[in-house]
Structure formats: structure tokens, C-alpha cells
Amino acid sequence: MDREFLIDLFADFGPVTIRKMFSGYGISADGINFALALRAGLFFRADEVTIPDFEAEGSKPFQYSTRAKTVLVNSYWELPARLFDDSEELAQWARAALAAAQRAKVKKRPKSKKAAAKKSVAKKVKTGKKAPIRKRVKRKN
């Protein structure tokens, strides 16, 4: 799949950003990556809400092989082939994939440094371990 094909494919969905990634492209909207176009096919972001739809279509999660094992990436599922001919339904699936990506982003909200430090101190107090001593380093002017 090339860039122009992907732009046409997502025309009913709306504007997308397509960036080179791995052996293909990462596809995003509103700054959130929701699809991968790789040699193996087109994969949409999925979660517990949308995975049943992929399973009902007989789709499989994205996987790749390393020297030691095959890795299953359950957060991206292959787009059913029939959707390549139905741009309106593909747009619905793309909106669902974007929503799944947004839900995942909310779950992984970055912690502020203060919150992370408080959690670290609270954990050490609970376990009875002392917090590490931080040394101040004097800088030479």
C-alpha cells in the first residue's frame, strides 16, 4: 500500500496523517495513531470494546516473528478485506479504531514528576525500605 492509496482509502473518514513506520506507515488523526499499514496488511487499533467486531469478521491480531518467538500484538487487528470495497463502512471502523486509541491514551496518562515521586515514597514507606538519598552536585562556574 502506498501513501496515495491510503489517502484515498480514508477519504470518507476525513483527513489523516501518514508517517513512515517500520516496514510501512502509521496512520493518525488528531495526533493519535489508530492504524498501521504494513506489508502484512492494514491493522486498526482495537480494545475490549472493538475486538469482538474483529473476531466476528474472522480477523486476527497483528503478529510478527523474532528469532526466538512470535509476538502477538492484541492492540492492533487486521481490517476485514471486504471493507476495502466499502469506504463508508471503513470510515465507521476507522472512527471506532480512533476511539479505541483515545481510550488507550486516557488509560496511559503520563504522570507528573511530583505524582510519581509521591507514589515512590509511599511505596517505600509501605515496604519499610528507606528512600534513596539524593546527593547535590556542586557545579563549577
Nearest to 63 by CA among 95, 41, 83: 41
| Cβ–Cβ < 8 Å for 59, 118 | no
d(CA 85, CA 15): 19
Q: In whole numbers, what is the pLDDT of the chain averaged over residues?
A: 85
For the stretch 57-88, pLDDT in tens is 999 999 988 999 999 999 999 999 999 999 99
Q: Which of 78-92, 97-111, 126-140 is predicted with the least confidence, judged by mean pLDDT?
A: 126-140
d(CA 100, CA 51): 10
| Cβ–Cβ < 8 Å for 77, 60 | yes
Q: What does each C-alpha distance from 93 to 7, 22, 65, 71 come to in angstroms?
A: 16, 23, 27, 24
For the stretch 82-99, pLDDT in tens is 999 999 999 999 999 999
pLDDT of 106 strictly over 70: yes
Question: Phi and psi of 88, rounded to 5°?
Answer: -70, -45
d(CA 140, CA 33): 45
Q: Is the pTM of this model over 0.85?
A: no
* Domains assigned to the chain: 3-107 (3.30.1460.30)
Q: What is the mean pLDDT of residues 5-14?
A: 93
Element (H, E) at 3: helix 3-9
| Cβ–Cβ < 8 Å for 96, 39 | no
